[in-house]
Amino acid sequence: MARVQIGGRPHRILEVNDVRAEVDKRGYEAGSKGLYGACLLKQDTVEILISAKLNDRQKATTLLHEVIHSIMPDLEENDVLKLERELFPFVWNRGFRP
Ligand SMILES: [Zn+2]
C-alpha cells in the first residue's frame, strides 16, 4: 500500500485481489463491468484500489485512470479513457510505474 498526495488530498493506493468485492464491502456502487480498479472518494481522503491480478503495465495504466477520476470526478468515463489512452504511453515510457 502506498500513501501519496494528489491535488492536496491524501490518497491510499491498495492492491486487492477482488476489486468488486472490496468496493461492495466499502458500501460503494461497483457498476456492471469487470473492474480493474476503483477510485473511492471519501470525505478527507481518496482510496484507489488496483487489481493485484494485473501485470505492471496494466496496474500502471489503471492507476493513471483512477488518478484522473480523483482529480476530475465529474469527467465522463469516455473522457477519462481518452486521457488514459493518450497519456499512458508518454508516462510509461518515462518510467511511471505502479
Ligand atoms: Zn473509469
Q: Ligand 1 centroid to 93 CA: how many Å?
A: 22
8 A C-beta contact, residue 64 and residue 91: yes
Considering the domain boundaries, does residue 59 fall inside one? yes
- pTM comes to 0.93
pLDDT tens digits along 9-58:
999 999 999 999 999 999 998 765 668 999 999 988 999 999 999 999 99
8 A C-beta contact, residue 71 and residue 79: no
Positive or negative, the CA dihedral 94, 15, 7, 39 is positive
Q: Ligand 1 centroid to 71 CA: how many Å?
A: 12
Considering the domain boundaries, does residue 98 fall inside one? no
Residue 79 has pLDDT above 80, yes or no: yes
Q: What is residue 43's predicted lDDT score, i.e. its pLDDT?
A: 87
Q: Ligand 1 centroid to 38 CA: how many Å?
A: 7
C-alpha to C-alpha distance for 26 and 4, rounded to whole angstroms: 20
Considering the domain boundaries, does residue 81 fall inside one? yes
Q: Ligand 1 centroid to 80 CA: how many Å?
A: 6
Q: What are the cell numbers at 97?
A: 510505474
Task: Give me the number of domains the chain comprises.
Answer: 1
Containing domain of residue 79, as a range? Answer: 2-93
